[in-house]
Amino acid sequence: MTLRFKRLTLIGIGLIGSSIALAAHRKELAEEIVISTRTEATLQRARELELGDRYYLDAGEAVEGADLVILCVPVGACEAVTKWIAPSLAPGAIVSDVGSVKEVVINAMQPHLPDTVHFVPAHPIAGTEHSGPDAGFAELFENRWCLLTPLPGSDEQAVARIHEFWTALGSNVEEMDAHRHDRVLAITSHLPHLIAYNLVGTAHDLETVTQREVIKFSAGGFRDSTRLAASDPTMWRDVFLNNKDAVLEMLGRFSEELAALQRAIRWGDGEALYKAFERTRYIRRNIIEAGQETAEPDFGRHVKDAGE
């Protein structure tokens, strides 16, 4: 089967890297899985978890002879890793990544890659609030989107193989221009995470409401934010540093709108509040209709488990 790679090298073995390793192994997508990571401790942990077949601290050695190399490192590390592995990449190899930002990553990686390899940037929209090699699970990508942002002139066969690879991992794959990707993700993912971090940070700083109270009564709406705000800080720092323009634009709009709601509250403008709250309902309905969610109360959580 053409789907199968001879040697898949994963650089970085956090939540995404370890999940790819487990899923690729289960689906038999590579004859051999090679793992490289920055620290001896993490590499040792990957070995204990039996995530791969061979293990290297040296990313250059790790990519030798690989026909698929996927960078699973924070966005800010992509350029340095690319420089490191570039001289060792096998001709014809496909190089991909999993970064949540695409334009900056492409500009950081592309100039350092030899002409003999095929670069197919990818972004699986999947994750949990956990990180590290222990956080991975083979089902992470099932029924999740994976966006590919091929470059003008990308090798069609290489793009098709990455498309098939992610489809085999269970994802729904779509191709999109990198610039558009970064704007779409700025509003659907980056801004919501920033807001969640900020909300939890604000609660943390209150003098008059105790931490104990915030935690105890979090089910009223705050709890969802704490999950987003528990995500990997390094990954998210890099997302915001590298998707600056789109995030700042969305944030500017968000703050404008929030100022309008604040004004309506201050002046007791109930009509403005009702109109603002009423129009957002239908977006939820559309999400349910699009099959991204169920209409079951409380987000599909089991009511009986909810408070436990």
Q: Is 255 an interacting residue with respect to a second copy (CB under 8 A)? A: yes
Minimal distance, residue 117 CB to a second copy, in Å:
29
Q: Is 236 an interacting residue with respect to a second copy (CB under 8 A)?
A: yes
Residue 93 CB, shortest distance to a second copy, in Å, is: 29
Residues contacting residue 32 through CB under 8 Å, at least 6 positions apart: 6, 7, 8, 53, 54
Min CB(180)–a second copy separation in Å: 8
Distance CA 257, CA 175 (A): 32
Binding mask 123-152 for a second copy (x = CB under 8 A): --xx-xxx----x-x-xx-xxxx-x-----
Q: Which residue stretch of 26-34, 63-71, 114-122, 284-292 sits at the interface with a second copy (rule: CB under 8 A)?
A: 284-292
Our CB check for a second copy shows the closer of 78 and 117 to be 78
The answer to whether 102 and 123 have CB atoms below 8 angstroms apart is: yes
Map the footprint of a second copy across residues 73-132, applying CB under 8 A.
Answer: 76, 125-126, 128-130
DSSP of 99-140: -S--HHHHHHHGGGS-TTSEEE-EEE----S--SGGG--TTT
**Residue position matching structure tokens 């570039």:** 86
- The distance of closest approach from Cβ of residue 40 to a second copy in the complex, given in angstroms and rounded to an integer, is 23
Residues 143-202 that bind a second copy (CB under 8 A): 143-145, 147, 172, 183-185, 187-202
- If DSSP codes are grouped into helix, strand and coil, which group holds residue 238? helix
Candidates 113, 122, 209, 212; CA nearest to 165 is 122
